[in-house]
Amino acid sequence: MRRRTLLTTATAAAGLSTLAPALVTPAAASAATSGARTAPRVLTETTTATDAPAHPARRFDLVAVARPPERTSAAVRFERADGWGAWQDLHFHTEGPDHLDPVSTAVARAPEGATGYQVRGADGADLTALNLRDGEDVTFGGRERVTLSAEGDEYRTLSGTSALPLRTRAGWGADESLRFDEDGTDLWPAEFHRVQALTVHHTAWETTGDHAADVRAVYAYHAAELGWGDIGYHLLIDPEGVVYEGRHSGEDGVPVFSGLPRPGEAASVTAGHAAGFNHANIGVCLLGDFTDELPTRAAQDSLVAVLRVLCALTGVNPAQRIEYVNPATGAVTPQEAVARHRDWLATECPGNAFAAVFDSAIRARVVRGWS
């Protein structure tokens, strides 16, 4: 599908505008945020799991494990100057674009000063050490922030905010070269379908504290190491509640969607967050591990706002249970309109602690804002 260019005055008036630190005119936002910036390229070193310790050639911040989707446990431990730490259970997601075989992935944050790591229970898996700080600088530019707005007669009236500010791909430092092969061919061409469902995830690893770097790590791992060509989520939310644009959806400046989203007609770019159920399904991922603890209040509040605005823009009713129809296969799956990753697939995502309170902490609040 060829994308339409929609950065016109009429488009902005209909509900899309740019954001600087405060709401300003598109022209002012462009002038304030289009300067060149840099961020370090994510460096990776991959090996095959054998139960033996691995000692990367450079320091590393994260370790990722990728294997076929199977229901077995695995754990990781890290070595520092004072010896080996305790074993930590890994929490796997089954994910990936629908045109590729699904894969189970897990990521763990390495402690500062780690010199090695060891994974058990995952023989034959691909292990990747990620360094988020020492790569060469990548230069990028463009607007750092935009907003999706559900203001106007065609959108349902929401309680609370009706505007969703996003940190753009240029804002968090996406290396757009990762989306293309050596010949310049898009590795994952955009495909769009009318939105039927919204799905919530967690990254299942402790954040590093530099949340833009965390997003770059997810992107580099999905796009380059797993070979997808882009990040698998549409939107990501950090512990401070900042929302980040995920999967590339074209050059018209409209994140997530194919042009202006209108209720009942809004078409989202297909991502790779719920293998087999990616089409017409918007994936929102919280940065962090919510197996044993809950997201911050700021992250929860931001997630509720994100889901409310997405429901208004798309016409998805968060109070409904739907008959999800896969546009590619025609397969019908009964599902909640606002779902957790585990509702679609056998996974712990978005974490046992968070999943247990999701209905009351998130879905009920979205519904109250909708009605």
Q: What are the boundaries of each domain within the chain?
A: 9-36+139-370, 41-131
Predicted confidence band at 65 (pLDDT cuts at 50, 70, 90)? very high
Predicted confidence band at 371 (pLDDT cuts at 50, 70, 90)? low
pLDDT of residue 369: 78
pLDDT of residue 17: 39
pTM: 0.91
Q: Per-residue pLDDT for 13 more than 70?
A: no
Average confidence (pLDDT) over 118-125: 94
pLDDT of residue 141: 87
pLDDT of residue 1: 30
Q: Per-residue pLDDT for 202 more than 90?
A: yes
pLDDT of residue 30: 33
Note the pLDDT tens digit of each residue in 298-352.
999 999 999 999 999 999 999 999 999 999 999 999 999 999 999 999 999 999 9
For domain 41-131, the question of CATH label 2.60.120 is answered with yes
229-265 as b/e: b if 16+ CB within 10 A: bbbbbbbbbbbebbbbbbbbbbebbbbbbbbbbbbee
Mean predicted lDDT score pLDDT of the chain: 89
Q: Per-residue pLDDT for 124 more than 60?
A: yes
Predicted confidence band at 115 (pLDDT cuts at 50, 70, 90)? very high
pLDDT of residue 156: 80
Q: Per-residue pLDDT for 69 more than 50?
A: yes
Note the pLDDT tens digit of each residue in 233-255.
999 999 999 999 999 999 988 99
Closest CA to 79 of 106, 121, 112, 38: 112
The span from the CA of 294 to the CA of 228, in Å, is 30
Q: Per-residue pLDDT for 107 more than 50?
A: yes
pLDDT of residue 71: 67
Residue 14 has, within 13 A of its CA and on its CB side, a CA count of 13
Average confidence (pLDDT) over 268-294: 97
Average confidence (pLDDT) over 259-271: 95
CA angle 283, 286, 291 (to 5 degrees): 115
Predicted confidence band at 196 (pLDDT cuts at 50, 70, 90)? very high
pLDDT of residue 24: 25
Note the pLDDT tens digit of each residue in 152-193.
888 887 777 788 999 999 999 999 999 999 999 999 999 999
Contact 80, 334 (CB under 8 A): no
Residue 102 has, within 13 A of its CA and on its CB side, a CA count of 17
Closest CA to 32 of 23, 42, 41, 44: 23
Predicted confidence band at 34 (pLDDT cuts at 50, 70, 90)? low
Closest CA to 160 of 168, 151, 169: 151
- Structure tokens given for 198: 């919204």
- Overall fold of domain 9-36+139-370: Lysozyme-like (3.40.80)
Average confidence (pLDDT) over 188-203: 98
Average confidence (pLDDT) over 12-33: 33
Predicted confidence band at 33 (pLDDT cuts at 50, 70, 90)? low
Predicted confidence band at 283 (pLDDT cuts at 50, 70, 90)? very high
The span from the CA of 145 to the CA of 167, in Å, is 5
Query: Higher model confidence: residue 71 or residue 364?
Result: 364
Predicted confidence band at 232 (pLDDT cuts at 50, 70, 90)? very high
pLDDT of residue 51: 87
Q: Per-residue pLDDT for 127 more than 80?
A: yes
- Structure tokens given for 364: 């009920």
Q: Per-residue pLDDT for 22 more than 50?
A: no
The span from the CA of 89 to the CA of 339, in Å, is 25
